[in-house]
A and B are shown apart, each in its own frame.
Chain A
Amino acid sequence: DAGVTQSPTHLIKTRGQQVTLRCSPKSGHDTVSWYQQALGQGPQFIFQYYEEEERQRGNFPDRFSGHQFPNYSSELNVNALLLGDSALYLCASSLGGLGSTDTQYFGPGTRLTVL
Chain B
Amino acid sequence: AQRVTQPEKLLSVFKGAPVELKCNYSYSGSPELFWYVQYSRQRLQLLLRHISRESIKGFTADLNKGETSFHLKKPFAQEEDSAMYYCALKGVSTRGYSTLTFGKGTMLLVSP
Q: Which B residues lie at the A interface, using CB under 8 A?
A: 4, 6, 9, 36, 43-46, 49, 86, 88, 93, 95-105
A43–B102 CB distance below 8 A: yes
Residues of B within 8 A of A103 (CB): 46, 49
9 contacts between A and B (CB under 8 A): A40-B9, A42-B102, A42-B104, A48-B99, A55-B97, A58-B99, A98-B97, A103-B46, A106-B44
Are B100 and A45 in touch, CB under 8 angstroms?
yes
Residues in A lying within 8 Å of B, measured CB to CB: 3-4, 33, 35, 40-45, 48, 55-56, 58, 90, 92, 98-99, 102-109
- For A45, what are the chain B residues with a Cβ–Cβ distance below 8 Å? 99-101
Tell me the complex Cα distance, A27–B96, Å.
Answer: 25
Query: In the bound complex, do residue A55 and residue B95 qualify as a contact, i.e. CB atoms below 8 Å apart?
Result: yes
Residues in chain B near residue A43, CB distance under 8 A = 44, 86, 100, 102
Do residues B98 and A109 form an inter-chain contact, with CB atoms below 8 A?
no
